[in-house]
Amino acid sequence: MNLNGSLIYTINLRAMILKLIIFFIAVGWLLSTLVRYFLRSKLKKFVDQVQEAQREQYRQQRKPSHGNVNVDFVPKNDKKRSSGNTSGGEYIDYEEVKE
């Protein structure tokens, strides 16, 4: 009878260990899923805050101060450079030198 009792004890111990392992795996999976969810939401909030701060900084830089207007781009005026009726670039008058 002692042999039969120790066999049942061994089977119960193995089942208990197996249940404990399954429990820890399930808890680990659940915790990793929750941590991933919360980290993702916190990271999204942080990114949104940084983007809003950048937008606000950009708006402040672009806003003219004290009624002044900032011009960031001035187009080239090609008509100022060309002279007369020449085409294909700037005309240079030259003389041939004979040696």
Quick one: pLDDT at residue 1?
45
Domain residue ranges in the chain: 2-61
> What distances in angstroms separate CA 93 from CA 86, 96, 99, one per listed residue?
12, 10, 20
Quick one: pLDDT at residue 80?
53
* pLDDT tens series, the chain, 99 aa: 455 667 677 778 888 999 999 999 999 999 999 999 999 999 999 999 999 999 998 888 777 667 677 677 777 776 555 455 556 667 778 888 887
Can you read off the two tokens belonging to residue 7? 């066999």
Q: Report the C-alpha gap between 39 and 33 in whole angstroms.
A: 10
Distance of CA 71 to the CA centre of its chain: 30
